[in-house]
């Protein structure tokens, strides 16, 4: 299995949530999985992750997860707001059923939407930052010709393609991050 990771918590924030933000960095950052307009309706969002405090853990150089921050997960209706104590801007996003136990996060802003991927296992939230360059490295792009935009992003044309792309990505890459609930 291919191992993808970023050792810098800030880059994690950029990819995860901003993929959006799903953290607020800039949806125009290279390497994102994007679409013109939102592919999911926020009214159909799901809320499978409980509110609370989580340890954010990034995959390190040794391929083991290492704690990088503590985050607070809040839900307002069907919208998630994830804040951290390390100075990152809050990540505001929705979650959508990607099938086969996968959850696709979406943040829509300025006519574009960015996506990341989650799965809940044993009470922990696994997160794939889902970067276009990694998709290329692990062979996913070969099955989705034409999605690269020439600027390092993957521009996904429709929801079915996004779900298929993310399913293929999760089958070939290990999660980049893990969120572990903190007992309160």
Cross-strand bridge partners of residue 81: 74, 92
Q: How far apart are CA 134 and CA 66, in angstroms?
A: 21
What pLDDT does 150 receive?
Answer: 82
**Residue-level pLDDT at 184:** 61
Q: How far apart are CA 69 and CA 76, in angstroms?
A: 22
**Hey, CA dihedral for 87, 88, 89, 92, is it positive or negative?**
negative
Name the nearest CA neighbour of 61 among 135, 98, 121, 6: 6
Kindly give the pairing relationship between strand 112-121 and strand 102-109.
Answer: antiparallel
Position 139 scores a pLDDT of: 95
CB atoms within 10 A of CB 53: 15
In tens digits, what is the pLDDT along the chain, a chain of 184 residues? Answer: 333 333 333 333 333 333 333 333 333 344 699 999 999 999 999 999 999 999 999 999 899 999 999 999 999 999 999 999 888 899 999 999 999 999 999 999 889 999 999 999 999 999 999 999 999 999 999 999 999 888 889 999 999 999 999 999 999 999 999 999 998 6
Identify which of 83, 78, 79, 38 has the alpha carbon closest to the alpha carbon of residue 56: 83
If you ran DSSP here, which 8-state letter would residue 173 be given? B
Alpha carbon 130 to its chain's center: 6
Query: DSSP of 66-105, one letter per residue?
Result: EEEEEEEEEEETTEEEEEETTSPPPEEEEEEEEETTEEEE
Domain segments of the chain as ranges = 9-181
> Which of 153, 145, 169, 166 lies closest to 36, judged by CA?
153
Handedness of CA 71, 50, 165, 150 (dihedral sign): negative
């Amino acid at each position: 299995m291919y191992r993808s990771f970023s050792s810098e918590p800030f880059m994690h924030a950029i990819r995860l949530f901003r993929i959006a933000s799903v953290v607020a960095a800039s949806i125009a950052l290279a390497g994102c999985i994007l679409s013109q307009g939102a592919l999911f309706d926020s009214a159909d969002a799901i809320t499978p992750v409980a509110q609370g405090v989580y340890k954010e853990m990034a995959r390190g150089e040794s391929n083991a997860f290492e704690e990088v921050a503590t985050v607070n997960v809040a839900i307002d209706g069907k919208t998630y707001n994830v804040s951290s104590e390390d100075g990152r801007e809050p990540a505001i996003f929705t979650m959508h059923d990607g099938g086969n136990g996968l959850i696709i996060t979406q943040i829509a802003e300025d006519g574009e939407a960015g996506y990341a991927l989650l799965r809940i296992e044993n009470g922990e939230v696994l997160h794939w930052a889902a970067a276009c360059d990694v998709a290329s490295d692990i062979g996913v792009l070969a099955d989705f010709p034409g999605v690269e935009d020439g600027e390092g992003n993957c521009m996904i044309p429709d929801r079915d393609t996004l779900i298929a792309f993310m399913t293929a990505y999760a089958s070939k890459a290990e999660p980049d991050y893990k969120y572990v609930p903190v007992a309160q």
